[in-house]
Amino acid sequence: MNPPPRSLSPRRVLRGGHAVARCSLAVALSLSVGACGSSDPAPLTPDASIADVPAADAPATDAPATDAPAASVAIAFAHTVGGAPLAFGTTTPYTNAAGNSFGVTRLSYFVSGVTVRMRDGRTVTAPGARYLDAATPATLSFALPGSAPVGELASITFVMGLPPELNISGAFSSSPESLMEWPEMMGGGYHHMKFEGRYINRAGQPFNFMTHSGGLNRADYSFAVTLDASGRSITSAGASFTVRMDVAEWFTGPNTWDLNDYFNATHRGIMGDAAAQASLRENGASVFSLAAP
């Protein structure tokens, strides 16, 4: 049951020889049980690189005055583990805060309402939802609509996942987005994220983990992310900014996750586990950062 492109007080944690700078934000996750199994990333159709679900509220852009200089802005998402670029595979080259060796086979998720806010208060927003697949580069960058004002930035914000007004069953009619459906018996709508891989359990054996998040029983486990963008600017030549997700942070403070406790023979996933969903959302505070200019 899987689916076009779709702040920060540093705290250092050692993982697998990498020092990680942690940042203050907000996020949600969950794992598949029963009705939702692990699967390989679905191939994108040629025109499936960004998916927009129109938001039902304010206009996407607080446009600058017609005589004010304006420019184009691009946003990209990148993925790391403890500061190193994420590599997919069935091996277990990474180590989390609990000492679990793990590897990653899939990472796909939604972000919503990506917004660039200027120091003077003006904003430019990409309305609706964006589907991203870390293994599909075409889904990982997009331009904000229209023209952005030239000047200094204050922040870049977005929602991790789909807020309730966008998380509606049937909103996506084609893959890969449609393959992110969340079971109707668990509340319907769509997964916020599918983060899958394997780890070495206490018995020394590889065991699959499927960190799937979504609106369990219609509870909202999406969350707002605000990244400090002070010191960055948009010039008349335009600008591009990269948001990084450190996937190891999903298993780190305030709640350190031992994968043995969440993914085992009697508890194979967290889709139906409200406490686990809430715990992962809290951990999302350190997952995202803004790459150096």
Domain boundaries defined on the chain: 12-290
Answer whether 0.85 is exceeded by the pTM: no
Residue 275, number of CB atoms within 10 A of its CB? 9
pLDDT at 245: 98
User: Rounded to 5 degrees, what angle do the CA atoms 47, 53, 58 make?
Assistant: 135
User: Rounded to 5 degrees, what angle do the CA atoms 108, 114, 116 make?
Assistant: 145
pLDDT at 71: 87
Cα separation values, 260 from 209, 244, 256, Å: 9, 27, 12
DSSP state of 181: B
pLDDT by position in tens, the chain (length 293): 444 444 333 333 333 333 333 333 333 333 333 345 444 433 333 333 334 443 434 444 444 444 557 889 999 999 999 889 999 999 999 999 999 999 999 999 999 999 999 999 999 999 999 999 999 999 999 999 988 999 999 999 999 999 999 999 999 999 999 999 999 999 999 999 999 999 999 999 999 999 999 999 999 999 999 999 999 999 999 999 999 999 999 999 899 999 999 999 999 999 999 999 999 999 999 999 999 87
pLDDT at 9: 35
Q: How far is CA 5 from the centre of its chain?
A: 13
pLDDT at 68: 59
DSSP state of 144: P
Rounded Cα–Cα distance for residues 90 and 74 (Å) = 33
**Can you give the length of the chain in residues?**
293
Q: Is 90 left (phi over 0), alpha (psi -120 to 50) or beta?
A: alpha
